Amino acid sequence: MLSDTHLSIIKAMYFSTMTSSLEISKTTGVSIPTITKHIEDLIAEGYIVEKGLALSPTGRRPMVYSLVADKHFILSVAMDQFYTRMVIVDMNGNFVTETVETALNLYNNPLALDDLISTVNHFVDQSGIKRSKLIAAGVSMPGFIDVQEGNNRSYLLTTDKSLRDTLTEQLGLPVFIDNDSSVIALAELKFGMGKVKSEIMVINLSWGIGLGMIISNQIYRGFRGYAGEFSHIPIFDNDQICSCGKRSCLETQASLITIENNAAEEIRNGAFSSLKLENDKVTISAVIAEALKGDSLSIKLISFAGYQIGRAIAILIHILNPEVIVLSGRATKAGKFWLAPVQQAINDYSIPILTEGTDIVLSKMGFDAQLAGSAALAIDHISKELFVRQKTVKA
């Protein structure tokens, strides 16, 4: 049976892919002789494989190891307010199925949970991966997530059991849930900017504007775990009602829904643009696509939203003084068009000494960050018992 040390080695190797005994020892705080002994156990059990000697300009070249990629798999589910994406991930963090995206509206939809369960089960059945090989699922979603209770207090409401327990029962494998922006921050912490920076604000540019906070190399959640409701900072005087029920929130001027609505209104008013109304609407995908082709209206709409987000980021800088601001989420498909207006607003609203050395960057993980983070969420929470369970599950 796996010990706690075995499990800590597996987790360390998942987040480092190929690594040596010395590096695992540094990560886990366990002595090299103990690590070496446990690696031998894991090799014998088929969890780890030797990958050869590391490159080294001087001295003895250490042996490096990696997890056996297909020993287990993780189901990763990344949800936003309107769409759900799914992929299966191996033990080296590789996506081994195509990413499937399906429309699933969470807002005011009493059938959303049933639809989610049906959609995910169908995806697993069609994936070609045996259920007996799946060790856990990580599911990230918008809303106020109580990680301890395993509930979403905004969407997918349950009565008799927690959301986490309901999904675990209906999907037939252990499920871990968390807020989408926190999971994107987890991906940056484990695989991205967190490798080189310790104070990071991760902005999730989506239908709302989420925030994941990395403080002293740790995900910061706040008192009840609800920290990061960036979308609902009331910084405007527009008196517009937000989706949260309050007025004048950042979301009312800068969300993707707002960009879509503003685009449609501009077209109806005769604005010159390559954008076209479809069923009296304009999609954010169309706005981004046309912006990348040089459409001035599309660029203007993204720039306006970016500037408003930059104003709100200036508040974060004054309070938290981060090393780096990472822009992530669905909207980063528009790439560089976000950077200039965000930076301009920060220049306009921040005290210069507070912004010295603070970089604004696009996530190198792109739109896959949430999927990678959902898998990382599951790995972070796996226990020895899950490995025992996996041996007893039939295909």
Q: Output the pTM of the full model.
A: 0.91
Instruction: Check if 73-180+370-392 and 193-364 are the same fold.
Output: yes
DSSP H stretches of helix in the chain = 4-16, 21-28, 32-44, 112-127, 163-171, 180-191, 251-254, 256-268, 284-292, 296-320, 339-349, 352-355, 369-381, 384-392
- Give residue-wise pLDDT tens across range 67-122: 999 999 999 999 999 999 999 999 999 999 999 999 999 988 999 999 999 999 99
What confidence category does residue 285 fall into, taking pLDDT thresholds of 50, 70 and 90?
very high
In angstroms, the Cα distances linking 89 to 51, 134, 193 are: 20, 9, 21
Which residues contact residue 270 at a Cβ distance below 8 angstroms, ignoring those fewer than 6 apart? none
Quote the DSSP letter at residue 212: E
Query: From CA 89, how far away is CA 117, in angstroms rounded?
Result: 19
Furthest-apart CA atoms within the chain: distance in Å: 73
pLDDT at 390 over 70: no
Question: Looking at domain 4-67, which of 1.20.59.10, 1.10.287.3610, 1.10.10.10, 3.20.20.70 is its CATH number?
Answer: 1.10.10.10
Instruction: Specify whether the CB–CB gap between 249 and 232 falls below 8 A.
Output: yes
Which residues contact residue 314 at a Cβ distance below 8 angstroms, ignoring those fewer than 6 apart? 345, 346, 348, 349, 350
Check if CATH label 3.40.140.80 holds for domain 73-180+370-392: no
**CATH class entry, domain 193-364:** alpha beta
Question: Amino acid identity of 359?
Answer: D
Question: Amino acid identity of 288?
Answer: I
- Give residue-wise pLDDT tens across range 324-361: 999 999 999 988 899 999 999 999 999 999 999 899 99
Instruction: Please give the structure tokens belonging to residue 349.
Output: 């609203």
Neighbours of 173 (CB within 10 A): 21
* Residue ranges per structural domain of the chain: 4-67, 73-180+370-392, 193-364
pLDDT at 389 over 60: no
- Give residue-wise pLDDT tens across range 20-74: 898 899 888 899 999 999 999 999 999 999 988 877 666 677 888 999 999 999 9
